Amino acid sequence: MPSAKLMQGNEACTIGALVAGLEFFAGYPITPSTEIAELCSEELPKVGGKFVQMEDEIGSIAAIIGASLTGKKAMTATSGPGFSLMQESLGYASETEVPVVIINVQRMGPSTGMPTSPAQGDVMQARWGTHGDHPVIVLAPGNVKECFDLTVRAFNLAERYRVPVVVLTDEVIGHMREKVVLPDWKDVEVEDRARPAAPGGYRPYEADPDGGVPLMAPFGEGYRWHVTGLFHDETGFPSGKAEVADRLLRRLDRKVSKNEPVIRDYVTESTEDCEILVVSFGSSAMSALSAVRRARREGVKAGMLRLKTIWPFPEEVVRELSKSAKAVLVPEMNLGQLAYEVERTVGCHAPVVRIGKVNGDLFRPDEIHDKIMEAAK
Amino acid sequence: MRTEFRLSGSGGQGLLLAGIVLAEAAILEDKNAVQTQSYGPEARGGASKAEVVISEEDIDYPKAMDPDFLLALTGEAYRTYGKVMKKGLIIVDDSVPPSDEISARTARVPILRTAAKDIGKSVVANIVALGVLAGISGIVAPATLEAAVKNRVPKGTEELNIAALKKGFELADAFKAKA
């Protein structure tokens, strides 16, 4: 029988990963994500899994890619500085189609920044941090329960589309404790990658060119296949042919872009008739929701759109909800990153107001409320 | 109704644990509770702050906006957070000298001394403080808080911590009798 518990965001991410079938964690401790590594080191051995504390974050992501290639579900957790170090291999996971989950508990940057203070400055790095066009999915929990839900979903999407999935939280959500009722583990839907039936005739990168996902064979079970970060054909061996490169990159991109409507995930409140639309995510959205509710009580037609999937960006949703808006406000703990996407999507239909906060503190609701009232004038 | 607590002092005083216990006690009574924290990069020392918001309703913003109760165990915490107190009550250790700049209602309570002298362990000052905070605010029943303390303190220290909690309740009663 599920019961209410006081639980921390980082703890909920870890439990979500375990429920989703995590078997291998490699990481390097970094504030404010360390509780995830700590808890994995306690819990994984109990279920026959492996925990490895690596020499750094470059090794960490390489290790989870290796583990995933053997058929295990693998994850790492980090914060800004470590996430920067992981970028090269994140691209490798995209190119080689190896499912991995990376939890990035954001802190103030750039560089070492403010280790114990929240920020949301990795929105663009999570999408474009590695070179080249590449598919990636980025999910942003807005409370502790969603840390559980979206980590489970991150594994499911990683397995389904064979892409790296980033769970983008921040210091506030990672360290916050709140009342959570988790579902019974056996009621949680868990997906596994599609595997070939037998080794004979296995072509590891054979798939529908329109965003198909190839079958993935686990290493060590009799399959012979070649994995490379070079562009490769259906056999997995490198190819320098123009048509091969073009076909592969378009297929990789289509895996995510074509499926955006099903990857899409968001929450709205009071958007039916809203004139001031507030678009936010993560911990900023908690402050924003408080501000929107207050504005409503004061008679202003404010509404809230909180994105749980940031990448792929849900253009259609933002376009639809902003149609009748007089202004669109984007509060985020950076100098305007999600706002770029909102501006691009809303176009000239309404002014987009960036509300950035970069002092290491969470927004106070009144800071956003003031902007709503200003826009409503 | 939303009730906000801010527990402040220096790193290592156990204020985070006190905040966690308070939030857990509220959940045991079927209320909603959110606990957040802010601290510096040091392992010990440095300013440390835990906040707890308790409500019967949905809690959107997780931090304290205008605390109903401020607990301050150091002079620095008292001066920093005391200044911004409006409607709420400050509960400050009585070793901290008063400040002219702070005008909010204030309870001066011998928290650190009670832990060190009466219990004989200054490390339980956080639990004495928790008893004072819960006793004065009446936010949770004493028995619930006792259960929450037992859940969260290290094994083998339950008796010591319950004794500290009860001393905290006594200090709260003494304050309420005077007020």
- CATH number, span A267-376: 3.40.50.920
pLDDT digits (tens, 9 = 90+) for B58-90: 999 999 999 999 999 999 999 999 999 999 999
pLDDT, position A2: 62
* Separation in Å, CA A58 to CA A78, A80, A82: 11, 13, 8
> Which CATH number do you get for residue B18?
3.40.920.10
pLDDT, position B43: 66
The mean pLDDT value for A62-74 works out to 98
Mutate to test the interface with B, among A114, A117, A169, A178 (most CBs of B within 10 A): A178
Of A6, A177, A287, the CB nearest to B61: A287
pLDDT, position B141: 97
Domains of chain A, by residue range, sit at 4-187, 267-376
The mean pLDDT value for A22-44 works out to 98
pLDDT, position B47: 83
pLDDT, position A1: 45
* Residue A184 confidence class, pLDDT cut points 50, 70, 90: very high
Contacts of A222 (CB under 8 A, 6+ apart): A199
pLDDT, position A74: 98
Contacts A147 to B, Cβ<8 Å: none
Summary count for chain A: helices (H), strands (E): 14, 15
pLDDT, position B102: 96
Domain A4-187 in CATH 3.40.50.970: yes
Quote the number of domains for chain B.
1
| Dihedral (Cα; A97, A98, A101, A104), 10-degree rounding | -70
The mean pLDDT value for A345-367 works out to 97
B27–A31: do the CB atoms touch at under 8 Å? no
Contacts B38 to A, Cβ<8 Å: 116-117
Residue A218: is the preceding peptide bond cis (ω within 30°)? no
Residues forming a β-bridge with A4: A181
pLDDT, position A50: 98
Tokens of A83: 């996430």
**What percentage of chain A has pLDDT greater than the value 70?**
99
* φ, ψ for residue B5, nearest 5 deg: -120, 140
The residue of chain B with its CA nearest to that of A284 is B61
**Domain around B161:** 2-178
B33–A172: do the CB atoms touch at under 8 Å? no
Is residue B145 within 8 angstroms of chain A, CB to CB? no
* Residue A238 confidence class, pLDDT cut points 50, 70, 90: very high
Instruction: Give me the tens of pLDDT residue by residue for chain B, a chain 179 residues long.
Output: 899 999 999 988 999 999 999 999 999 999 999 999 988 777 677 888 999 999 999 999 999 999 999 999 999 999 999 999 999 999 999 999 999 999 999 999 999 999 999 999 999 999 999 999 999 999 999 999 999 999 999 999 999 999 999 999 999 999 999 87
